[in-house]
A and B are shown apart, each in its own frame.
Chain A
């Protein structure tokens, strides 16, 4: 909760430390991107980004010392984003689980056939008529 009048002064030393950490993490994520990490590439990059965002929110934006309502607001917003992404993924990752729809698009199917035929994929031969 808030201290004296709710205006917590974040010490300069702490701000300096945080900017140091942020710069370090930026260099780290760039360095790691040059290394082949396979399936860990996305989670690693995202974790670093989340850590950085966490420092900015907590210290620079002083949410750590702020009214709990504001933290709740942020949490609810982030939750909504997660719902948004995950519920759409439930659709897109399982598209075509019954016979009512196919998993692949017609363009992809044709491209796959062409690849199997050993020809170069060609984007121009799928004609859609709408202007």
Chain B
């Protein structure tokens, strides 16, 4: 019952997800049984009491107080059970254990940034150790977002100017999808990432590797993961212009002027995207990237230079 994936629910990735599933199945089956009874009664009455003569006028039925009481009392008991159970699991879902490993999450249109206390930062992949509670401290740089991992049955809105958090403890190594579930603009449906759950040793190795100083172009390539929802690196069309072969070319702008795509232009376009709009594109790039560090910005420019 709910221990594995089914038509209805994806494979649970945490123990707590299993608890949510048990509750889901309880409500599901009780509902199905009651629903089936109602439908059967309905169909039976429809057939049994079909009008046979136009002058047929049936007498009113004496209403049974006992039956009425049953209809009110039994559902009340059922929903109280479901409420209490749901309350119990809800509190567990939103109470992170004090020894949780904490990761900072920053959401912005339309990407996730995961930063680790050891100094590492990742964008499309959230690495977590298996078998250890992980707490995400999340905030948003612009509008509301919502962090959702279907396999973990956890979700919470990500709000500007306040930290919200979810926690989970992945049970098995594997990859699990992250969705944004609060509408946040054009690329809302592209605001996905992956939880990569790995063993403690692999996780430690990954953190150590990531926390080193990287060459600018490599760092830039990682940072660019945030940009890929809109900007391609292979020349294909997107919401925004492709980065392939961009550096050093002359760019026509919507105001009719032409600008050389040099370092300054690239930097300006990242920090203040509304300043110069490339011809043929909408002025919809979020301004949130101005919060990137100088090192990250330099890395981005270095990376874009390599895309010939």
- Complexed CA–CA distance, A131 and B290 (Å): 12
Please state if A99 and B95 are interface contacts (CB–CB under 8 Å). yes
Verify if B141 is at the interface (C-beta below 8 Å from A): yes
Residues of the B chain whose Cβ atoms lie less than 8 Å from the Cβ of A76: none
- Determine the chain A residues whose CB is within 8 A of the CB of B159 once the complex forms: 101
A40 interfacial contact with B, CB 8 Å: no
Q: Does B305 contact A (CB under 8 A)?
A: no
Which among B91, B143, B164, B167 has the highest number of chain A CB atoms within 10 Å?
A: B164
Q: A128-B141, A129-B141, A130-B143 are in contact. Are A98 and B288 (CB under 8 A)?
A: no
Contact A106 B161, CB 8 Å, known A99-B95, A99-B167: yes
Q: A100-B164, A101-B165, A106-B163 are in contact. Are A129 and B287 (CB under 8 A)?
A: yes
- Are the C-beta atoms of B162 and A105 separated by less than 8 Å? yes
In whole angstroms, how far apart are the Cα atoms of A102 and B138 in the complex? 10
Tell whether A98 pairs with B91 under 8 Å between CB atoms, given A106-B163, A128-B160, A129-B287: yes
B163 and A107 within 8 A (CB)? no
A94 to nearest B CB, angstroms?
13
Cβ of B143: which chain A residues have Cβ within 8 Å of it?
130
Cβ–Cβ contact B165 & A129, under 8 A: no
Contact of B274 among A101, A127, A131 (CB under 8 A): A131
- Which residues of the other chain, B, contact A100 by a CB distance below 8 angstroms? 94, 156, 164-166
Chain A contact surface mostly: loop
Known contacts A129-B141, A130-B142, A130-B143: does B287 contact A101 (CB below 8 Å)? no
The distance in angstroms between the C-alpha atoms of A59 and B258, with both chains bound, is: 75
Q: Which residue of B lies closest to A95 (CB)?
A: B162
A99 and B141 form a contact (CB under 8 A):
no
Kindly provide the distance from the CB of B7 to the nearest chain A CB, expressed in whole angstroms.
30
**Can you list, as one digit per residue, whether each of A77-107 has a CB less than 8 Å from chain B (1) or not (0)?**
0000000000000000000001111101111
Q: List 22 A-B contacts (CB under 8 A).
A: A98-B91, A98-B94, A99-B95, A99-B96, A99-B135, A99-B165, A100-B94, A100-B156, A100-B165, A101-B156, A101-B159, A102-B162, A102-B164, A104-B162, A106-B139, A128-B160, A129-B108, A129-B289, A130-B141, A130-B142, A130-B288, A131-B274
Q: A99-B165, A129-B141, A131-B287 are in contact. List 16 more A-B contacts (CB 8 A).
A: A99-B94, A99-B167, A100-B94, A101-B165, A102-B162, A105-B162, A107-B161, A127-B291, A128-B141, A128-B142, A128-B161, A129-B142, A129-B288, A129-B289, A130-B143, A131-B274
Query: Chain A: residues with CB nearer than 8 A to chain B?
Result: 98-102, 104-107, 127-131
Q: Which 5 A-B pairs have the closest CB atoms?
A: A100-B94, A98-B94, A129-B288, A99-B96, A102-B163
